[in-house]
Structure 1
Amino acid sequence: MNTPAPSPWRPPRLSLRFVPVWQRNFLVWRKLALPSVLGNLADPVIYLFGLGFGIGMLVPDVGGMPYITFLAAGMVCYSTMNSASFEVLYSGFSRMHVQKTWDAILNAPVELDDVVFAELVWAASKALLSGAAILLVVVAFGFAEARYALWVLPLIFLAGLSFAALGLVMTALAPSYDFFMYYFTLFVTPMTLLSGVFFPLEQLPPALRLATDLLPLTHAVLIARPLLLGEVPHAVAAHLAVLAAYGIGAFWLALALLRRRLLK
């Protein structure tokens, strides 16, 4: 009697075996650590100073603060999202599909669940480095209150997990690198423009404002901005719950899709 194949939608089975896979990714990255950090830092810093001083000279204070101060929190979250997304999409797809690194790892006593979870945690770790770097710039130039800035670091890691999990779903579905342009064009870019990174959410029409409440970047910004202003965020538990829900739900979905793709 044939035993039925286990469902790809079964709950994740995680263990500490993900740690060596994480370490493997770290050791590879360490060879190019400096260019990687500088590359992740350059884009948000250019936005911060270019838009902050450029548009900031043309508009009055936003929410009672200089525009560059308003923009600072958005750039921290934007940097986190970009770093986590690029890692699981382009680098993760390379390891899974092009280089066949995952196939090699799975010849060891490691489950696919551990490999995928290692990719998730590694992407969040890189996002933490990227977000912390822009946070350091923001604090060093006096665009944020230093006393609450350290509380942004756990937020960066959680947001990194959420965006990495969403990116893993795309990696599981992607036939090639070109597929990722749809994700950035149809999801990441609109979310960046509508999540309070560049302008207050209150400026949006009411119907669109309701839609922004569903975006994970919105909740990251709503926590980060008050903290960088030296204030306690409102409804912080609800915002954290949304980010956690995205991370858990998207990871489970990505794992199920990868099981169907790789464990045939």
Structure 2
Amino acid sequence: MSWQDAIPNPGALTVVQRNFGVWRKLLLPSMLGNFGDPLLYLLALGYGLGHFVGHMDGMPYITFIASGIVASSVMNTASFEGLYSAFTRMSAQHTYAAMLATPLRVSDILAGEVLWAAIKGLISAIAIIIVASFFGAIQGPWVWLSIPVILLSGLSFGSLALVMTAMARSYDFFMYYFTLAVTPMFLFCGVFYPLHSLPAFAQDIAQVLPLTHAVALMRPLLTGQLPRQVPYHLGVLLLYTVIPYLIAWRLLVRRLLR
């Protein structure tokens, strides 16, 4: 196969439609987690820890951390969907094999999975934005501009997760990704404190990670400001979408068709 075969057809949307139909049956517990988890974070960290921290980067700590939680939630949700849920469909349920018996191609399945992971990330982010808005932690005229950023971030983390899924032989494999990638990004990419508080070498490492750029774009938009270096941050997220997507496609072709 040539790299042109990695370009998906509109059939990728049928994969999204199929996943949405399954998710709709689990809507209530899923939405409970989307609203409940951020509420606990905001109460425990925004109000609890924020009482001692006060202000950070010129804003109340609950405002600072709420925007960071939005970005990290996109990462966690898209990663979980691209890892555990996608692996279940591929290996346990053999859904991919059934899809390949139709006119769908590997690229259609992969693109549909990546897009669905981004949509799940968007749903989670909107839930947090709604909850945080009741606390006055999310406000300003640019909130809606964060939606395309959230989607692009979800595409990035979904593509990265599907690279791991394409290589995995069991669910245990994903612990490496969470321990070595997701958790470090959650802790060191500006979710809980500004990057300039880190040592110089740690700041340099953080600049290579996609969550740093997601936070750099979302935090200003969700707090009534406009982000800086927008083309740079968008470019990094775009690279983290396209390159992992191509790698995942090549790996899935080898796994599913050979």
TM-score of the aligned structures, taking structure 1 as reference length: 0.94
What residue number does 1:74 align with?
Answer: 68
The 5-angstrom pairing of residues 139-158 of structure 1 reads 139-158=133-152
Matching residue's letter, 2:143: A
Matching residue's letter, 1:28: V
CA RMSD of aligned residues (A): 1.3
Inter-partner Cα distance in structure 2 for 1:219 and 1:34: 32
2:44 to 33, 46, 50: 50
The 5-angstrom pairing of residues 140-219 of structure 1 reads 140-219=134-213
Shift of 1:38: 1.7
What residue number does 1:120 align with?
Answer: 114
Q: Residues 11 and 252 of structure 1 are in contact (CA less than 8 Å); yes or no, is this contact kept in structure 2?
A: no
Higher mean C-alpha displacement, 31-40 vs 129-138:
31-40
- Spell out structure 1 runs of 4+ moving beyond 6 A: none
Secondary structure in 2 matching 1:108: coil
1:83 is the counterpart of 2:77: yes
Matching residue's letter, 1:43: D
Q: Residues 83 and 174 of structure 2 are in contact (CA less than 8 Å); yes or no, is this contact kept in structure 1?
A: yes
Give aligned-pair identity as a percent: 51
Q: Residues 140 and 225 of structure 2 are in contact (CA less than 8 Å); yes or no, is this contact kept in structure 1?
A: no
Higher mean C-alpha displacement, 58-67 vs 227-236:
58-67
Inter-partner Cα distance in structure 2 for 1:186 and 1:47: 23
Higher mean C-alpha displacement, 201-210 vs 29-38:
29-38
What residue number does 2:223 align with?
Answer: 229
Matching residue's letter, 1:262: L
Q: Residues 8 and 108 of structure 2 are in contact (CA less than 8 Å); yes or no, is this contact kept in structure 1?
A: yes
Inter-partner Cα distance in structure 2 for 1:232 and 1:215: 21
1:132 is the counterpart of 2:140: no
What residue number does 1:3 align with?
Answer: none
What residue number does 2:240 align with?
Answer: 246
1:19 is the counterpart of 2:48: no
1:110 is the counterpart of 2:90: no
More helix by share: 2
Matching residue's letter, 2:83: L
Inter-partner Cα distance in structure 2 for 1:144 and 1:23: 31
Matching residue's letter, 2:29: P
What residue number does 2:35 align with?
Answer: 41
Inter-partner Cα distance in structure 1 for 2:208 and 2:43: 29
Inter-partner Cα distance in structure 1 for 2:241 and 2:47: 34
Shift of 1:59: 1.7
What residue number does 1:29 align with?
Answer: 23
State how many pairs are aligned: 258
Inter-partner Cα distance in structure 1 for 2:243 and 2:27: 31
Matching residue's letter, 2:108: D
Q: Residues 19 and 118 of structure 1 are in contact (CA less than 8 Å); yes or no, is this contact kept in structure 2?
A: yes
Inter-partner Cα distance in structure 2 for 1:212 and 1:163: 16
Q: Residues 166 and 250 of structure 1 are in contact (CA less than 8 Å); yes or no, is this contact kept in structure 2?
A: yes
Shift of 1:43: 2.5
Inter-partner Cα distance in structure 1 for 2:30 and 2:37: 12
Shift of 1:11: 5.4
Shift of 1:48: 2.1
Shift of 1:10: 5.7
Matching residue's letter, 1:73: S
Secondary structure in 2 matching 1:147: coil
Inter-partner Cα distance in structure 2 for 1:60 and 1:72: 14
Matching residue's letter, 1:128: L
Secondary structure in 2 matching 1:230: coil
Secondary structure in 1 matching 2:142: helix
Inter-partner Cα distance in structure 2 for 1:211 and 1:25: 35
